[in-house]
Amino acid sequence: MAALTLPGFYRMALPLAAALLLAGPALAKAPKLPETVPVPELNQPGPTSEPGPADVPVPEPRPTNAPSGPAEPPVTAPTPAEKPSQAEPPASAPSPTEKPPAEKSPQEKPAERKILPDPRSASVPAPEMPEEELACRRRLKSMGVDFEEHKAEHDQEIGCSIPYPITMKTLGKSVTIAPAPELNCAMAEASARFVADVVQPAVKAEFSSDLKSIGQASAFVCRPRHNGGKLSEHAFGNALDIASFTLSDGKKIEVGPAPPEKDGNFLNAVRKAACGPFKTVLGPGSDADHSLHFHFDLEPRRHGGTFCQ
C-alpha cells in the first residue's frame, strides 16, 4: 500500500469533516414525540364468540384503610325489640327474687319490738261457764252491780282474749260508770269493791257529799303496751282507766297533773289506797300516757307483787 502523504490526508479528511459539521445540528436536536400514546386495551375478546375474561365483572378496589381478612357478611339494621307486655316487669325493675334497695331516711326508725307471748292469749270459752265465773257474777249482783254478758273476745293474731267478758253499767246501787266498760269479771268485781270501800268514804270525808258517777277513759282495748314488748292488761279486759269522779251535788273532779287543793287531796288518797287492791297503779307523774287518768289493773305478778307510781 502506498504511503499516505499529508496533503493527501487533508484532501480526504476535509470532505468528511464538512459532512460532520453539517449533520451536527440535526443530530443534536431531539426527535419530536407524539403528545398522546395509545394505551393498549387489556382483556380484549378473542376471535371466538365465547365470553372471555373481559365479561367477568371486576370487583371494586377495597378501601386503603379496610382491614385484611375474609369478607364479613353484610350488616343489617337491628329489628326493634318488641314492647313488653303489661304482665312483664320493666327491664329496670328488680326481679321478683330481689328486694329493691331500701330507702334510707335521714333518721332511721327503730325496729319494732316483738310482742312476747302471753299464756292468756290462748284462753277461749268452754262449752259451759266455769264455776268461778258463775260465783263472780253472783257476788256482783249481791253488791248491786248492774252488768250484761258480752260475747267472748279473742284475737289470735294480736293475742287479745277475754273468754267471759261482761259490760258494766253501774259500780254499785247508786254509782254509775260511763261509757259502759267491757271487763273480765275479776276486774269488774275489784273495781266495784274499791269504789264501795275506798272511793265513796273518801268523797264523804273530803267533800261531805256522795259519789254519783265515774267517767272511765279505757277498759278492753286490743293492743300492746305503749312501750311495746308485752300485751297491755287492757287486751285481757284486766284494766280500767278512770278519768273523773262526779259527786251528787254536781261537782266534777278530774284526774290531772295540777288539780285544786281539795281535789288533789282526794285524788292522792284514792291513788294511795288503790295500791294493794290493784296490782298496778299509775297516774299523773308516772309518764305522759297517764297524765290525765288513773290506771288500775290486776296484772299477775310473782308473789302477788305490786307496781305503783
**Sequence-distant (≥ 6) Cβ neighbours of residue 184 within 8 angstroms:** 162, 164, 165, 166, 236, 237, 238
The per-residue pLDDT for 272 is: 97
Report how far residue 182's alpha carbon sits from residue 193's, in angstroms, rounded to the nearest whole number: 17
> Among candidates 146, 216, 149, 226, which has minimal Cα distance to 181?
216
3-class secondary structure, 294 = strand
Neighbours of 23 (CB within 10 A): 10
The per-residue pLDDT for 190 is: 98
The per-residue pLDDT for 245 is: 98
Contact criterion met (CB below 8 Å) for 251 and 207: yes
Residue with cell 364479613: 72
Of 19-23, 36-40, 138-142, 166-170, the poorest mean pLDDT is in: 36-40
Report how far residue 160's alpha carbon sits from residue 118's, in angstroms, rounded to the nearest whole number: 9
Query: Per residue in 233-246, pLDDT tens?
Result: 999 999 999 999 99
- 286-300 average pLDDT score: 95
Contact criterion met (CB below 8 Å) for 153 and 165: yes
Residue 179, preceding peptide bond in cis (omega within 30° of 0): yes
Query: Per residue in 71-123, pLDDT tens?
Result: 444 444 445 444 444 444 444 444 444 455 455 454 544 455 677 889 999 99
- 57-83 average pLDDT score: 49
> Among candidates 173, 166, 193, 182, which has minimal Cα distance to 277?
193
> Among candidates 209, 162, 223, 169, which has minimal Cα distance to 191?
169
- 152-167 average pLDDT score: 95
The secondary structure of the chain in percent helix, strand, coil, rounded to multiples of 5, reads: 30, 15, 55
Residue 86: DSSP 8-state: T
Report how far residue 152's alpha carbon sits from residue 124's, in angstroms, rounded to the nearest whole number: 8
The per-residue pLDDT for 238 is: 98
CA-to-CA separations, 131 to 3, 164, 188, 254, in angstroms, rounded: 184, 12, 17, 38
Q: Which domains does the chain have, with CATH numbers?
A: 123-308 (3.30.1380)
Backbone angles phi, psi at 32, to 5 degrees: -85, 125
Is 80 exceeded by the pLDDT of residue 40? no
